[in-house]
């Protein structure tokens, strides 16, 4: 059975990543089969840390999943058992959930609307998810009031704007999930400081078709942060050079243009976003690798362009500026600009596929004639690679 895995971030009150909800579907639309498939084939074999890093994973469980004991295959410190809203609640189900809680698993109730059938599960739950799209102010206040006697944490899901985020925060929600938070609100007019501008200029220069080695060296040499990070990378065991590198020009010659393009792109981007954008940096790297691999899967010769397109496609979110302002003054090709600004051409198609996968838009998860399962595999491999690169960036900071 082919399956796809997506992940949507869940934030705390400080808008830090608390966990990811894993989203998945099987060919036949059977929730139980899909849950079992993702657990056995994706999480256990591929590795949960490679999908969610150090965060927890919220995983949807059907009634059958719970009764079959599937959850016991997963590490209790890394997962949250999310009980779907349409489960039949009876003695057998309550006993299964009771057993999971006693074993130390975290229990969440999905799409909660107060109903007597939930009463046996409320004392066993740790987290209740409130659907921001389904609630009216009246039902919301009523639900929250009825939940107060229980020792629960509230999670507001499907948050689509700042007003909803503020309302649910004021009512005591500790966690938040939704499209608004996944794509931070853009702030127009914010200027890029000197260090970030140098990083973006390097990113553009090293990916020009006629990239000039001297120009690359000058951009790096003018910025202390870029110089330091580049030399640290090149002198690391990853590159395994026989001698040490003591100058920018020597580093550029040793690496060669292809390797320089790839790794200097990563360094430049990390310099641009700083330490506060780690999760978005991981998203950018995952997209870059995914776009790169998608192009290779269909035999395209310009995979490096796809890599850069994926990498730069989240710059507006990273820098909290409109994309046209971010790209203003950068020497990018018309093809790349069309992809980044309007998602046009082959590059734009790859960006749209990666974006759809992140948002779990099933209709948009397509690229040329590739099998959806292969696209899902490409995402997971890109995410694993991104986690490795982010770890390397942090260790050399």
Question: Is the domain of 136 the same as that of 279?
Answer: no
Residue 188 lies in a domain: no
346-377: per-residue pLDDT in tens?
A: 999 999 999 999 888 888 889 998 988 899 88
Residue 227 and residue 217 in contact, taking contact as beta carbons nearer than 8 Å: no
One domain, residues 81 and 108: yes
Q: Are strands 17-26 and 3-12 parallel, antiparallel or unpaired?
A: antiparallel
Give the pLDDT confidence score for residue 297 in this predicted structure: 92
Residue 19 has pLDDT above 90, yes or no: yes
Domain count for the chain, please give it.
2
Does pLDDT of 59 surpass 70?
A: yes
Is 27 in the same domain as 104? yes
**Is the same domain home to 168 and 106?**
yes
Q: How far from chain centre, in Å, is Cα 214?
A: 36
pLDDT bin (cut points 50, 70, 90) of residue 185 is very low
Query: Do residues 257 and 287 both lie within one domain?
Result: yes
Contacts of 92 (CB under 8 A, 6+ apart): 67
Model confidence pLDDT, tens digit, residues 74-98: 888 889 999 988 888 999 999 999 9
201 and 176 co-located in one domain? no
Q: Are residues 25 and 138 in the same domain?
A: yes
Clarify whether residues 18 and 137 are in a common domain: yes
256 inside domain: yes
Q: Determine the number of helices (DSSP H) and then strands (DSSP E) in the chain.
A: 19, 8
Question: Is 284:318 a contact under the CB 8 Å cutoff?
Answer: yes
Percent of the chain with pLDDT strictly greater than 70: 73
Residue 161 and residue 33 in one domain: yes
3-state DSSP assignment of residue 212: coil
| Domain end among 148, 182, 216 | 182
Q: Which residue has the tokens 């870029």?
A: 226
CATH code for position 290: 1.10.3210.10
In a domain, 187, yes or no: no
The answer to whether position 299 is within a domain reads yes
Checking if the pLDDT of 126 tops 90, the result is yes
The domain that contains 160 carries what CATH number? 3.20.20.450
- The domain boundary, picked from 182, 217, 236, lies at 182
- State whether 178 and 32 are in the same domain: yes
Distance, in Å, from the CA atom of 287 to the CA atom of 297, rounded to the nearest integer, reads 15
Any idea which of 112-126, 167-181, 242-256 has the lowest mean pLDDT? 242-256
Same domain, 96 and 47: yes
Tell whether 189 is covered by a domain.
no
29 pLDDT exceeds 60?
Answer: no
Residue 156 — φ and ψ, nearest 5°? Answer: -90, 120
319, 274 Cβ separation under 8 angstroms: no
Last residue of a domain, one of 129, 159, 182: 182
The CA-atom distances, in angstroms, between 120 and each of 98, 267, 395 are 10, 53, 48
What local confidence, expressed as pLDDT, does residue 28 receive? 42
Least confident of 93-107, 322-336, 349-363: 322-336
Query: Alpha-carbon Rg of the chain, whole angstroms?
Result: 23
Q: Is residue 238 part of a domain?
A: yes
The token pair that represents 313 in the structure block:
């496609």
- Give the domain extent around 301: 194-395
Residue 220 placed within a domain: yes
The contacts of residue 326 (CB under 8 Å, 6+ apart) are: 192, 200, 315, 316, 319
Task: Please tell me whether residues 61 and 100 are part of one structural domain.
Answer: yes
Take residue 114 and report the two structure tokens written for it.
């107060």
Residue 1, pLDDT score: 40
Confidence band, pLDDT 50/70/90 cuts, at residue 207:
low
Q: What is residue 346's predicted lDDT score, i.e. its pLDDT? A: 93
Range among 73-77, 132-136, 293-297, 307-311 rated most confident: 293-297
Write down the mean pLDDT value for the chain: 78
> Of 28-37, 292-301, 345-354, which has the strongest mean pLDDT?
345-354
Its pTM surpasses 0.75:
no
Does residue 162 lie within any of the structural domains?
yes
């Amino acid at each position: 059975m082919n399956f796809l895995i997506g992940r949507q971030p869940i934030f705390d009150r400080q808008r830090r990543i608390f966990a990811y909800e894993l989203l998945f579907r099987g060919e036949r639309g059977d929730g139980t089969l899909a849950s079992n498939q993702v657990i056995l084939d994706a999480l256990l074999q591929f590795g949960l840390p490679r999908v969610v890093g150090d965060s927890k994973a919220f995983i949807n469980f059907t009634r059958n999943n719970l009764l079959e004991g599937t959850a016991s295959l997963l590490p209790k410190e890394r997962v949250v058992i999310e009980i779907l809203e349409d489960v039949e609640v009876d003695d057998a189900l309550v006993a299964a959930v009771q057993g999971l809680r006693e074993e130390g698993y975290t229990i969440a109730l999905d799409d909660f609307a107060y109903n007597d059938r939930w009463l046996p599960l409320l004392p066993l739950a740790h987290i209740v998810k409130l659907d921001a799209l389904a609630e009216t102010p009246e039902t919301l206040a009523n639900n929250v009031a009825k939940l107060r006697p229980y020792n629960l944490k509230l999670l507001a899901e499907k948050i689509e704007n700042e007003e909803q985020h503020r309302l649910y925060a004021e009512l005591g929600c500790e966690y938040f999930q939704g499209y608004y938070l996944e794509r931070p609100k853009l702030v127009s007019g914010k200027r890029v400081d000197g260090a970030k501008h140098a990083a973006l200029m390097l990113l553009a220069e090293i990916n020009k078709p006629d990239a000039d080695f001297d120009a690359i060296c000058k951009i790096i040499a003018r910025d202390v942060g870029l110089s330091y990070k580049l030399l640290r990378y090149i002198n690391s065991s990853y590159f395994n050079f026989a001698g040490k590198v003591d100058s920018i020009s020597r580093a550029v010659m040793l690496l060669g243009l292809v390797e320089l393009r790839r790794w200097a792109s990563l360094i430049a981007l990390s310099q641009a976003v700083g330490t506060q954008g780690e999760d978005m940096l991981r998203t950018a790297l995952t997209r870059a690798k995914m776009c790169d691999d998608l192009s290779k899967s269909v035999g395209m010769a310009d995979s490096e362009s796809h890599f850069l397109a994926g990498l730069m496609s989240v710059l507006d979110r990273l820098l909290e500026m409109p994309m046209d302002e971010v790209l203003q003054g950068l020497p990018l090709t018309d093809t790349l600009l069309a992809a980044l600004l309007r998602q046009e051409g082959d590059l734009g198609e790859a960006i749209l596929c990666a974006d759809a996968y992140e948002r779990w838009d099933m209709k948009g998860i397509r690229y040329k004639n590739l099998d959806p399962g292969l696209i899902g595999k490409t995402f997971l491999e890109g995410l694993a690679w991104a986690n490795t690169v982010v770890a390397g960036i942090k260790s050399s900071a």
